[in-house]
Amino acid sequence: MFELSIFPTLLLALTIDAIIGDPSLIYRLIPHPTQIMGWLINFLDVNLNHELDEDKSRKTKGISLVIIILTLALSAGFGIIFLLSLIPYGWILEAIILSTLIASRSLHQHVTAVSSALKSNNIDYARSEVAKIVGRNTKNLDSHGVSRAAIESLSENFSDGVIAPIFWAIVLGLPGALAYKMLNTADSMIGYKNDRYIQFGWAAARLDDLINFIPARLSAFFLCIATFMWGQNEAKRSWTAIKHDARKQMSVNAGYPESAMAGALNIRLAGPRDDGEQKAIEWIGIANEGSTANATDKDIDRGLSLYVNACLLIIAAIVCVTVLIAHT
């Protein structure tokens, strides 16, 4: 069931996020919603995930954590909707809350910072900036590795930070977006395959894969369509990479936006990496003739341009639906 009434609210939320983003001044005074989610997940992790527990017990407790956080997120969402329905123009406050769950502007700022550091030939600063948006060791990356990592993060977070919250807001309104953000935050905190989390984080990781299944493919679609603004050849490369390389990623979802971006830019992403241990990961984008692994800050800038075009396409689609709703 889709929440058609959410479209005007969603349009305002996207506008707020695009213009304001996450202003640091405000979040020095009050915690960001994802920060509150992080506190809750960390509290449950500390109190439920005990090293001496058997694997089965840790997995069961991890399932319990997912049930608890989703129940709280959905309850909070429906409670907020009810309270806002009692006041005039409550939908504006709903849009403000919803805007905090979308990361279009902050993602652009983080990736731009990496590009700027590379332009200044400050590789150490570039590594520290890209480390803020990737979940792996960046200390051994050269400029090409930093560029690829930034573009990979831009692609994947376009899905996780923009498309997915919008999708779940359309499906379930504000409660859906809150529940998505809560589970995605849990996956980023406990969804690892190490000794501490391989059992406890199993439910969060698997369910995160499920709820991102459609958004990941939608993100590839929007990136591919946005590439048409550059020309048919670029769009064809994007589609070729999606078709041939999207399933090469270890993640069931990340390969889709990454392959769309890699094809559009005619570069290679993923590939072998050293995160303290050598990992043999297949290249994404290799299906296109002339693709290169030697990505640069210019490729980051082109990726950002494509990202903006894709975001504008989403806003245009939401505007069209909002206008149709207003005339029915």
- Residue 275 pLDDT > 70, yes or no? no
> Cα separation of 230 and 251, whole Å?
29
**For a pLDDT cut of 70, what percent of the chain falls above it?**
96
Q: Which residues contact 277 (CB under 8 A, 6 or more apart)?
A: none
Residue 114 lies in a domain: yes
Please state the pTM of the whole predicted model: 0.93
Structural domain count, the chain:
1
> Cα separation of 142 and 238, whole Å?
26
> Cα separation of 194 and 63, whole Å?
17
Residue 273 bridge partners (DSSP): 279
Residue 91 lies in a domain: yes
Determine phi and psi for 229, rounding to 5 degrees: -65, -20
> Cα separation of 17 and 95, whole Å?
10
- Around 273, how many Cα atoms within 13 Å sit in the side-chain half-sphere? 24
Residue 58 lies in a domain: yes
The tokens describing 168, both together, are 């779940």
Residue 119 lies in a domain: yes
Residue 1 lies in a domain: no
Residue 301 lies in a domain: yes
Question: For tokens 């997912």, what's the residue?
Answer: 66
Residue 291 lies in a domain: yes
Residue 218 lies in a domain: yes
β 283-284/269-270 pair status: antiparallel
Please report, for the chain, how many H helices and E strands are present, in that order: 14, 4
Q: Which DSSP helix (H) or strand (E) runs through 270?
A: strand 269-270
Q: Is 189 exposed, middle or buried (CB count within 10 Å of its CB: 0-12, 13-18, 19+)? A: middle
- Tell me which long-range contacts 114-121 makes (C-beta under 8 A, separation of at least 24): 114/146, 114/147, 114/150, 114/297, 114/300, 115/150, 115/297, 115/300, 115/301, 115/304, 118/143, 118/146, 118/147, 118/296, 118/297, 118/300, 119/297
Work out the pLDDT band at 191, boundaries 50, 70, 90: very high
> Cα separation of 249 and 155, whole Å?
13
- Residue 280 pLDDT > 60, yes or no? no
Could you list the residue range(s) of the whole structural domain that residue 221 is in? 6-326
How far CA 287 is from CA of 147, 282, 283, in Å, comes to: 20, 12, 9
For residues 227 and 276, which has the higher predicted lDDT (pLDDT)?
227
What mean pLDDT comes out for the span 61-70?
A: 98
> Cα separation of 82 and 184, whole Å?
25
pLDDT at 287: 78
The tens digit of pLDDT for each residue in 284-307 reads 988 788 889 999 999 999 999 999
- Around 185, how many Cα atoms within 13 Å sit in the side-chain half-sphere? 25
